Amino acid sequence: MKYLMIVLLAVTWQFSNAQTQWVKSPGNLVMTKSIDLYEGAAIGAPAVIDEGDTMKMLYAGGGTDTKGRICYAFSLDGISWTKYNNDTPVLDVSSPGHWDSHFLDTPWWLKDSSGYKMYYFGDTDNYSPGGCIGLAISTDGRHWTRGDTVPVLSIGAPGDWDGLFIESPTVVFDGSSYMMWYSAADTTWQVKIGAATSPDGIHWTKYSGNPVITGGSIYSWEGFGVTTPTVLMRNGKYEMWYCGVSYYDFIAHNQIDTIKIGYATSTDGLHWTKYAQNPIMNTYDPPYTIQDTNGPWAPSTIYRPAEGKYYMWYETGYGFGLATAIDNTLGIGEVTDNRKFTLSPNPSTGKVTIHIENNEGSKRRVQVYDVCGSLMQEVPLLQSAQIDISSLANGLYFIQMKDEPNYKAKLIKQ
């Protein structure tokens, strides 16, 4: 017989991270290149920030003149994007002779009390290794001024782990200081991820313990290198998604066209723990089409609290894809008010009624998750709600009162 049982626990509890379980958007690709001077070769490296009613993206446009520039787009839903000013760049290459005079790429940005800060890769060509990371500032996210004529972070000395090239910054501001993670390599060409810190977002110091993320063994999915990180700070924890490539895939295809994404967490941004079941996404995850080739590359991830959902945009050979993941990290706690939660009948083989006494007409939602973090059902709740469990397999489930921080519980069906 199938049955449900509710258990209230006076402890904090978590199950598998939703941010490791991603579903591609049925609207992929959500952005493709324009056939013109600024994007005619390619678009890449999306960097999205969330400003409530609007999502804003900086991205790299590869021009038909071989130059790279930074462009801007905005969206209300993360799926339909409008390119600003017909994809005219918001940051163009600098004049000849400067360190970023030919190619700009891998932008990242944030907003602090002074406005917007953009960190980007720049170089004098796009054929040889090297490059630096620069800073540009803006008051509106569309009109940018370079912070200085010199970069804020450069390659290391010959022989250093980052002595060959440096790129792909991602930066977090915690309210008092800044932390950057970036990709770099030495002459072995095995790309790794390092960290740097800054008190003002302008003057940076590389972490003495770099690199902070390295690839696995030569036989692993990330043996060829780890790169293009995106980092969020949420609930006092740093979360990183990064790309990895295996030697097997590189040798088999003679190019980096099979890419995977890994996930790691940290409490200080310097010491990281990789997710045991990495990778969490790869090129051939369904639904796969030719448009997924050369992706998912250079991910950009945000979390929207009102939706309880992560969004990830990533580069492919044909444009930008989108994947989402539900936040299924449920804290389980005691009831802290005088409401009484009941579930009946229990056991049950069909419909189950959930009832809260003294709910005072508050409108909330009941969400049921499986142990993998997939949302199975969601129904509105005033005082009572009914859930039909007849189609669910026997097993363990979790129930959450959405928008009710003091009332979460563990739901079991066997």
Domain ranges of the chain: 4-15+330-413, 18-326
Question: pLDDT tens across 143-191, in order?
Answer: 999 998 899 999 999 999 999 999 999 999 999 999 999 999 999 889 9
CATH 1.10.10.60, applies to 4-15+330-413: no
Determine the pLDDT at residue 404: 46
> Would the pTM count as exceeding 0.75?
yes
Nearest to 75 by CA among 31, 32, 28: 31
The better pLDDT of the pair 379, 346 is held by 379
Taking a C-beta distance cutoff of 8 angstroms, is the pair 241, 261 a contact?
Answer: yes
Nearest to 330 by CA among 294, 288, 373, 392: 373
Tell me the average pLDDT of the chain: 84
Residue 200 has pLDDT above 80, yes or no: yes
Determine the pLDDT at residue 207: 98
Cα–Cα distance for residue pair 127/129, rounded to 1 Å = 7
Question: pLDDT tens across 69-107, in order?
Answer: 999 999 999 999 999 999 999 999 999 999 999 999 999
Provide φ and ψ at 20, rounded to 5°: -105, 0
In this structure, CATH architecture of domain 18-326: 5 Propeller (2.115)
Cα–Cα distance for residue pair 311/25, rounded to 1 Å = 10
- CA torsion angle for 253, 258, 263, 266 (degrees, to 10)? 40
Question: pLDDT tens across 18-63, in order?
Answer: 566 798 988 789 999 999 999 999 999 999 999 988 999 999 999 9
